[in-house]
Chain A
Amino acid sequence: MSEPLLKVENLKKYFPVKRGIIEALRKVPVRYVRAVDGISFEIKRGEVLGLIGESGCGKTTAGRTVLRLIEPTAGRIVFDGTDITALSREELRPFRRRMQIIFQDPYSSLSPRMKIGDAIAHPLLVHGLAEKDEAKEIALKMLRRVGLTPEEEFYDRYPHHLSGGQRQRVVIARAMVLKPEFVVADEAVSMIDVSMRASILELLESFREEYNMSQLFITHDIAVGKLIADRIAVMYLGKIVEIGPTEEVLKNPAHPYTRALIQAVPSIARRKREKKLRITGEVPNAVNIPSGCRFHPRCPLADELCREREPELVEVEKNHFVACHHPLR
C-alpha cells in the first residue's frame, strides 16, 4: 500500500489557562486546557477523513494544529514523507501551498474591502505562481468553476453583495486556486442553510476528484460526515474515541458516544424514533478531564473499570477502532 499523504502521531495541544495576579504571586501552578490530548490518524491521497464531535471536543484545534497554524505541544505531523512538525516558517512555506484550510464562517474569512475576484487571485500572487494578468484570468476561471457566473460580473463584487452560500463558494475557490493536495475543511457548511449544504459538498467533492485531494473534514453534523467522508473519526474531549470506515461506523457504532450522536441527529427518513441510548449533560471543560474513560460521567454503561482506567483504541472490526471498555456489538 502507498504511503499516506498525511500521518499524525500522538498529536497534543495544551493551552495554558491564564492565572490572575494573585494566583501568580501565590505560585499556583499553571493549569492547561488539554484541547487535543494525543490523537493519531492517517489520510491517504484522495481520501476524506471526517472528524466529528461536539463543540469543545478539540476538533478545530486538531485541524489547525495539523496545518501548524497552531504550534503543537507534542507529537509528529508527517506530510508526504516529510516531518513538518519542527520546520521553520521559511521551510514550511512550500508546504503551505499544498495544504489549505476552509473556515466555517464565510462572513469573517473574507476581507470586506477586497473584491472577491482579487481575493481568489491573491494566493497566486503571494506564492509567486502567476503575474497579475494571469492571476486574474485564473481567478475568473475559478469563479466559473465554483458556479459564480457571469464571472466577469462576480469578479468585481464585494463579499457583502453575496449570500452566505455564495461567500462560501468564494472561500472554496480561494483555497482551491493553489491546487492543494490536502485541505482542512472546518465546519465548511455549518453556517449555511441546510438546503444549500448539498451543493457546497458537491463542489468540494468535484475538487477532490479533479485534484485527487485529501481532506480532513471537521463537522459536528454526522449526517454531513456521512455524505463526504470515506472514514469517520469521532472525537471526545481531546481524544479520538472511534475511527473507521464511514459505513461501518454509522451502521455498527461501537462507542456509546458515537451511538448517542447518531441517534440525536434529526432525520426525515427515520420518522418513528427507535429506542434511544440516553446520554445527558454536556461536554465537560477540558481543564478538569474526568479520570479513566473521559466519557464515563455521561455514559449509561459506565462501571468501576471505566472510572479508573482509560481505554485504548482497539480494533473491533477490520480498520474499525474504538476506545471503550464495553464496546457495543
Chain B
Amino acid sequence: MLLEVKNLSVYYYTLSGVVRGAEGISFSVREGEWITFVGESGSGKSTVAHAVMNLVPSPGRIVSGEVLFNGRNLLKLPGEELRKIRGKEMTMIFQDPMTSLDPLRTVGDQMVEAMTVHGVEEAEAKRKAKELLERVNLPGDRFNYYPHQLSGGQRQRVSIAIAMAFRPKLLIADEPTTALDVIVQDSIMDILNGMKEEGTSIYFVTHDISLAVERSDRIAVMYAGKLVEVGTVDQIVENPLHPYTKALIEAVPDLWKEGKVRAIPGYPPDLRSPPSGCRFHLRCPYAEAGLCNIEEPEFREVEKGHFVACHFPGVWRK
C-alpha cells in the first residue's frame, strides 16, 4: 500500500472555539490508482489532503493518527527527512497556483530550483524543465515568463510540470481546476491522467462529484469532517449507500440527465459543535430519532471495498 491513513484527526484552534475539521479518518491509496475526495466546503476534504503532506496550516493541528507513506509515518519524520520526500516522492498542487509560484521569478527559474534542491545538476534541470513544459502543452518560451504573464490555466500547467519533475509516487491535487473554464479543466484532467498512466497515484480533491466519475478509480465522500463512504466509482455511482452520497449525486446539474436536479435541504453544520450521533442526521430524510441523533454510525465495509458510515445504508431501496 502506497499510503495508509489511520484514525487521523485535525482540529483548528481558533479564537471562537475548536473547529473539528476532520475526525477519525482512515483510508488507503494504492499504487497507480486515482482516488477522488468529494465534499462540500468545510467537509474537511482539503484539511485531510494537507494533513497527508503534514502541511496543516496554523491554527490547525493534527491531534491524532498516522500517515504511513511507503510504511513510514510522515507525522513522526524529522523535518529534513520529510523535505526529501515532499516535492520528490509526493507532491501537491493547489486551486490557486499563485499561492505556490513566486511572482518575482520566472517560471523556468522556479522549475529549475525545484529540481536542483533535490540534487539535479543545473544544466540537466534546465533541459528537463523545457521538456516538462512541452509535456503540459506549454510552448517552450514560457520558460522565461513570469507567472502574471500566464493565464490561470497556464499557471496550473506550470505547477503540474513542476510536480511531474521527479515522477512522484503520489500527487495530491486540491481543487486544481475549480477556478478554470471547462475546456481548460478537461485538458488539465487529461494531463493528470497521463501522470497516472505513468504510475503516479492521483489523490484528487473536488466539490464536484461529476468531475470525480470520469477518471477516478475510487471515490471517497466526506461530510462535516467525517469520511462517510468510500468505494469504486461503480459502487458509488450505481449503488450509493449513504443518503448524503445519493443526495450529492442528485444535486449536481448534469447535461446528460433528464429531469430535475434535487437540492439538498439545509446547510452543513458548524464544526465547533458538530451534531450528536450521525453528523448528517439533521439533513437526512431517512434519519431515525433515538438512533441516528444519538449513536455515531461505525465506518464499516458492507461489500468488498465498499465502506460506509450509516445506520441504514441504502435504506431507500428496501
Contact = CB atoms under 8 A, between A and B. Distances in A.
Interface string A199-240: 101100000000000000000111110110000000000000
Interface of B: 40-42, 137, 151-154, 181-187, 207-211, 213-214, 237, 247-249, 251-257, 261-265, 267-268
**Which of A163, A269, A279 neighbours the largest number of chain B CB atoms within 10 Å of its CB?**
A269
B137 A270 contact: no
B119 to A, nearest CB: 35
Contacts of A266: 182, 185, 208, 210-211, 213-214
Contacts of A280: 137, 187
A165 B42 CA distance: 13
A269 B257 CA distance: 6
Contacts of A271: 213-214, 237
Interface residues of A, number: 39
Interface in A127-183: 163-166
A219 B265 CA distance: 24
A115 interface: no
A194 B185 contact: no
A173 to B, nearest CB: 16
A264 B185 contact: yes
A193 interface: yes
B209 to A, nearest CB: 7
Contacts of B214: 266-267, 271, 273
A227 B184 contact: no
A262 B187 CA distance: 14
Contacts of A301: none
A265 interface: yes
A260 B137 CA distance: 18
B249 A282 contact: no
Contacts of B153: 282
Contact of B262 (A54, A198, A250, A282): A198
A87 interface: no
Contact of B261 (A198, A250, A260, A267): A198
A260 B262 CA distance: 27
A261 interface: yes
22 contacts: A54-B183, A54-B184, A55-B152, A163-B267, A163-B268, A165-B267, A194-B208, A194-B209, A194-B210, A194-B251, A195-B251, A199-B265, A221-B182, A261-B182, A264-B183, A266-B211, A266-B213, A267-B210, A267-B214, A267-B257, A268-B209, A268-B252
Contacts of A328: none
B226 to A, nearest CB: 16
A222 B263 contact: no
A223 B209 contact: no
A303 to B, nearest CB: 22
Contacts of B268: 163
A278 to B, nearest CB: 9
Contact of A197 (B182, B211, B253, B255): B253
Given A199-B263, A266-B214, A226 B207 contact: no
A51 to B, nearest CB: 14
A196 B40 CA distance: 9
Nearest to B151: A282
Contacts of B237: 268, 271
B210 A268 contact: yes
Contacts of B208: 194, 266
Contacts of A198: 251-253, 261-264
A223 B254 contact: yes
B40 A195 contact: yes
- CB-CB nearest 10 A-B residue pairs: A199-B263, A269-B256, A198-B263, A54-B181, A264-B186, A270-B256, A269-B257, A223-B253, A264-B182, A266-B210
Nearest to A200: B263
Interface string A253-267: 000000011101111
A164 to B, nearest CB: 7
Nearest to B234: A271
B244 to A, nearest CB: 9
